[in-house]
Amino acid sequence: MRTWFKSSLFVSGLLITQCVFAKDVKLVVTAPHIVEMLYAIGAGDQILGTTEHSDYPQAANQIPRIGNYAGLQVEKILALKPDYIIAWKTGNPPQDLERLETFGIPVVYSNPTSLESVAKELIMLGKLSGHIDQSKLAAEQYLTQLDNLKKQYSGKDKIRVFYQLWAAPLTTIANQAWPQKLIEVCQVDNPFIELKGDYPQISIEHVLVKQPQVIVIPTSSSEPNEIKGYWQKFNTIPAVNNHQIKLVNSDKLHRMTPRSLDELAVMCNKIDQARAFYQKN
């Protein structure tokens, strides 16, 4: 027998209150971070289809693929007959989602805008999937871990960090970019924070002018971003001259999930080691 509960959700861009089924709801999910959060609250087996690069946890690799960030395979999704599509507000083609809505499939949007909002997303997904208790526990654990990290680095002296989001073209972060929200926990000064756009492209000359003390390069097997060796020819940059180029795992760090805090702790620690180096020398 199906159970019911009331839930406030963003469906088709509107905040509404409605009744939804619990635990037997079937989902199509269009972003890796949503898949990861559903598994974190025990709802992974309710996913009928997802997009490429949804590879965590290991079981997620077995979920049928229905497209990627550039496009969704509408016919495949319709054939799966999901109760809901959970989409990334800023990471999926709106025309595909609008087309799916014309077939009467409700679209629920994931749209985390702050580190704290990840906890709200977990609870929203728990309500939708019927895993309310698990989602509340996961949210509480997440917020506790985030609060501990903020307390650990609060009051630290700022250190000038260039965050190399991508190598070619050379791209960094600014304004409201998700990685910017992360590195702020580590108490850094991003010299490019006020450039136009969240992910501005820059030149080597920009970096030479800004003289960062640390260069952070996010990289992984699926995102081979590393050009650590390339920077060695620019030894007038303090980060290069003092061997303060730090690698972090982009798969963990860039996904808006509880697991991102584990890699955030790693990044903050590496930046703190650089901070200690400069304070000593």
Question: For the packed helices 117-129 and 132-153, what is the interaxial angle rounded to 10 degrees?
Answer: 170
pLDDT band at 84 (very low <50, low <70, confident <90, very high): very high
Residues 119 and 170 in one domain: no
Q: Is residue 239 part of a domain?
A: yes
Residues 164 and 204 in one domain: yes
pLDDT band at 271 (very low <50, low <70, confident <90, very high): very high
What total number of domains does the chain contain?
2
Residues 123 and 14 in one domain: yes
Question: Which pLDDT score is estimated for 70?
Answer: 86
Residues 139 and 162 in one domain: no
Residues 94 and 219 in one domain: no
User: pLDDT of 157-191, one tens digit each?
Assistant: 999 999 999 988 999 999 999 999 999 999 999 99
pLDDT at 44 over 70: yes
Residues 24 and 137 in one domain: yes
Q: Containing domain of residue 79, as a range?
A: 4-143
CATH of the domain at 193: 3.40.50.1980
How far, CA to CA in Å, does 116 sit from each of 71, 123, 179, 199?
Answer: 29, 12, 14, 21
With 0-12 / 13-18 / 19 or more C-beta atoms within 10 angstroms meaning exposed / middle / buried, residue 80 is middle
Question: Which pLDDT score is estimated for 55?
Answer: 93
Distance CA 200, CA 174 (A): 7
Residues 97 and 22 in one domain: yes
Predicted structure pTM score: 0.89
Structure tokens at 27: 């989902």
Residues 242 and 167 in one domain: yes
Kindly give, in sequence order, each residue whose CB lies less than 8 Å from that of residue 179, ignoring residues fewer than 6 positions away. Answer: 163, 165, 173, 218, 253, 254
Kindly give, in sequence order, each residue whose CB lies less than 8 Å from that of residue 100, ignoring residues fewer than 6 positions away. Answer: 72, 74, 77, 78, 85, 107
Residues 125 and 163 in one domain: no
State what percent of residues in the chain have pLDDT above 90. 80
pLDDT at 17 over 80: no
